[in-house]
Structure 1
């Protein structure tokens, strides 16, 4: 019972963080207000009188998809378009690939870094401090992170969409129960739960305010999407495949929505859940942009851009001991193993050579009482003081051992360190695996890739719709990133961790760090670790 009470208390205090049960929900409502507004706009779109709505265009998305991405499904032949040629779609698709997804983005990249001479990552001003070893790395606009985010994202989207398109052909032979279930899971279930899971991840693993930025970008892109649906209504692919490209009878605002490929899922379950739900859709001709694509890609952006690999920066140039005793608990069998993460080497000392007990200071308060003036200056990085005997032992070993650790206690660390990282814990195999695969990035990539495939497979959106949805998400992200996330949220967090500002509101820690404060797992929730 004591353990359960302590766990609940830590979770409560970590989540509240100097707020209360009134201000916390109020803060949540304010931060997510744009999402609530979007839901209201979408849900009440049907109240707009039909006679004042703009004309529905059932051709634009269809032809844009063919000529920007290529006619791989022989749609020209299937729709009987004798005045169009498949070879032309591949030529225009190649032109769009080169000009639209490579030349234009790289021209913007060149202008920012070589004309305006920007000296930091445009997409992430503190990229150098967050993602690299600051002692050895310097910023370069040619680095993969500076190119991929955001300049290679259109090319990335073009490639993935065409790969997904290949595996989502609308042939009866391609439809299977397993694919239908997978598509339903990503298109319906994860469309709702993925943003929630992303929000939880951002709140637990990232600085205060990052979640607010995520909510604002979702709200902005979705509101812009609804207004686009209302002002520029376009037909989805299921409409063309059901009625044909020349149909005019059903191109009106009385047309009911259709679940398309989701009807196969209903057939598997013997229900009408999806069919009935889509019949009630308030915006039937809201194909462009795809809100599914915009939401999924926004999750992908925040997972890829904000997550960092675990670099163990707070145990470099420090010593950690691990005691292991034999079955008879003999003192002569006690060994201490020391690690040097800079060289990935270790050595062992017998108990005769072991260190004196290390004195651990109240590091956090000491650092915060000594704020710095320049971001490039380092705060003292060692959290240990060693006895003269221990230091002489190290000195003697450094002269005689080939693979001894280089203990530079005078070398400084760039950030205020809130904890002592136990290398015996952080070097465990499962943490090493998480470090190698960079789990948030992998999950973000898999989610958007399968989400796009499911959307095409279910015949709900063209590649063009999904690409435009990506652009809505990207522009909304850049807008909030430049207006709020970088200059307000991240700069404040970095200043606190550099010791330039006092951490009066405990914002140098993430929620996870607050919950696990003082334990061996606090480091895992630190975005700087």
Structure 2
């Protein structure tokens, strides 16, 4: 009976937490709204075949092939096969040009990073405005200056060279030869290219919904939709051929370069043979966009999942521990950027300190307490949010704020629960304490997906790289204009007690489900 009661209680909590003051009518509406851009993309893709062929643009059947060889290197000597007259010279020049491209991907981001953090002296993470709130280390003695933080350097500055290296690494194992094809590899590639392609975005959305502030999943849905809509329009306006087309017909083919050409499942035909089906073969024959190689939306979708999992997964810092000696050295020295236009909730704020552009110097974040420096990006720098500690809960997590006179004033996160350290220090939680599970899943998935796409002969490295660029641009737009200033800042206001939590949004979905239990801390991004 106890098991039945626990299960019934869990289901009830899931139901109530999912609705969260919504009805069964508004909940599906919110879901449709969150993923509306994705549905728009799917609709455009499905009906692309209705566009009259006479008004469609010219198909560029050679461009992706040549761009792949000269930007990433001709390791398979394909130039010699497709263009035998000048093949040997072209192979040599492909390595010269790919080396220059690699150096560009190294030097240009370094130059931009140096300009931002050493010339302009920006003292916050441009991508993660609240990095020191969600990602600060447990021991602040280990905290590095913002411009030297691995998180600041990797996203976005190291991502281009990371992509170049991993794509060439995967390319080495995706050689198109019968000797390289095995049943195990075929099924693994199919699992990644088809199954994970469909389920990974759903699993990422579930993770964001359960573990992250309300609104984060919506941002993910909009980022996916934005990149995919841009991608499908690129497919329609600048059609390019996939590698299977070149390997099947040759680089100089003109007979099959037309809009009546049927799609081809390429390496997935081998999977149909293994499974005894024709699903993949028939599915690709019916594709409404055959020459939609660049950008690779398989790559873009996988990389968007990668970006959100890496940027949002946080480590567990025992910020709300009920054992004092675990928190004395963990006072949250967070660089908060809490400037926004006044709204109905801000009327209750009391002035404890106001900050202007240039108030903070470049220094290690461990020496800076919670401050308002969003003014540096605000279109109206004079508009500032005032931080008050007079209305905080008496059992809040301690922090501080620097006022204009340089003195620290009390600032506390609202403590919604107390962490039982005897429970949270168990070995099973220590394994995932640093938030490595989502990160490892994200890295493994992107490496596997890129390999599978090339192994099945569906995309060049160039296609995958352009897909990464589409994902990065979409991520930066949504992150800069929605996620950071609207979602995360508003949520931090709730946890600081600056806003009344009328909608029960200070808790994540997981926190609402396990509210009042020992597991609530596990779903708190601030924990």
Considering the TM-score relative to the shorter chain, is it more than 0.5? yes
User: Is the Cα contact below 8 Å between 1:76 and 1:82 reproduced in 2?
Assistant: no
Tell me which residue corresponds to 2:46: 43
Tell me which residue corresponds to 1:424: 422
Query: Structure 1: how far apart are the matches of 2:393 and 2:116?
Result: 35
Change (3 A) 1:381 1:93: farther
Query: Structure 2: how far apart are the matches of 1:507 and 1:373?
Result: 25
Tell me which residue corresponds to 1:484: 482
CA drift at 1:310: 1.4
CA drift at 1:274: 0.3
Where 2:260 maps in the other structure, the secondary structure is: coil
Query: Structure 1: how far apart are the matches of 2:488 and 2:349?
Result: 21
Tell me which of 104, 107, 121 is aligned to 1:103.
107
Query: Structure 2: how far apart are the matches of 1:436 and 1:2?
Result: 33
Tell me which residue corresponds to 1:503: 501
CA drift at 1:412: 7.2
User: Is the Cα contact below 8 Å between 1:372 and 1:498 reproduced in 2?
Assistant: no
Tell me which residue corresponds to 1:119: 123
In the alignment, structure 1 segments of 5+ residues that lack a partner are 321-338, 345-368, 385-410
Query: Structure 1: how far apart are the matches of 2:80 and 2:252?
Result: 14
1:462-477 maps to which residues of 2 (within 5 A)? Answer: 462-477=460-475
Query: Structure 1: how far apart are the matches of 2:351 and 2:309?
Result: 31
CA drift at 1:437: 6.4
User: Is the Cα contact below 8 Å between 1:31 and 1:216 reproduced in 2?
Assistant: yes
Where 1:172 maps in the other structure, the secondary structure is: coil
CA drift at 1:378: 9.3
Query: Structure 1: how far apart are the matches of 2:289 and 2:152?
Result: 38
Change (3 A) 1:276 1:415: same
Tell me which residue corresponds to 1:246: 252
User: Is 2:18 the partner of 1:15?
Assistant: yes
Tell me which residue corresponds to 2:147: 141
CA drift at 1:277: 0.4
User: Is 2:316 the partner of 1:310?
Assistant: yes
CA drift at 1:2: 3.4
CA drift at 1:436: 4.7
User: Is the Cα contact below 8 Å between 1:371 and 1:501 reproduced in 2?
Assistant: no
Change (3 A) 1:383 1:370: farther
Larger Rg: 1
Tell me which residue corresponds to 1:2: 5
Tell me which of 270, 274, 281 is aligned to 1:264.
270
User: Is the Cα contact below 8 Å between 2:314 and 2:435 reproduced in 1?
Assistant: no
Change (3 A) 1:203 1:119: same
**Superposition TM-score, scaled by structure 2 size:** 0.83
Tell me which of 179, 197, 217 is aligned to 1:191.
197
Tell me which residue corresponds to 1:389: none
Change (3 A) 1:423 1:60: same
Query: Structure 1: how far apart are the matches of 2:414 and 2:329?
Result: 23
CA drift at 1:370: 9.2
Query: Structure 2: how far apart are the matches of 1:154 and 1:437?
Result: 24
Query: Structure 2: how far apart are the matches of 1:199 and 1:371?
Result: 37
Tell me which of 90, 93, 97 is aligned to 2:95.
90
Tell me which residue corresponds to 2:339: none
Question: Over residues 280-314 of structure 1, what are the superposed CA-to-partner deviations in whole Å (9 max), with x where a residue is unaligned?
Answer: 00000000000000000000000000001112222
1:290-439 maps to which residues of 2 (within 5 A)? Answer: 290-315=296-321, 318-319=322-323, 340=326, 373=352, 375-376=370-371, 383=395, 414-436=412-434, 438-439=436-437
Change (3 A) 1:416 1:133: farther
- Structure 1 vs Structure 2 CA RMSD: 2.2
Tell me which residue corresponds to 1:336: none
User: Is 2:172 the partner of 1:163?
Assistant: no
CA drift at 1:474: 0.3
In the alignment, structure 2 segments of 5+ residues that lack a partner are 331-347, 354-369, 372-386, 397-408
Change (3 A) 1:373 1:226: farther
Tell me which residue corresponds to 2:381: none
User: Is 2:283 the partner of 1:277?
Assistant: yes
User: Is the Cα contact below 8 Å between 1:168 and 1:456 reproduced in 2?
Assistant: yes
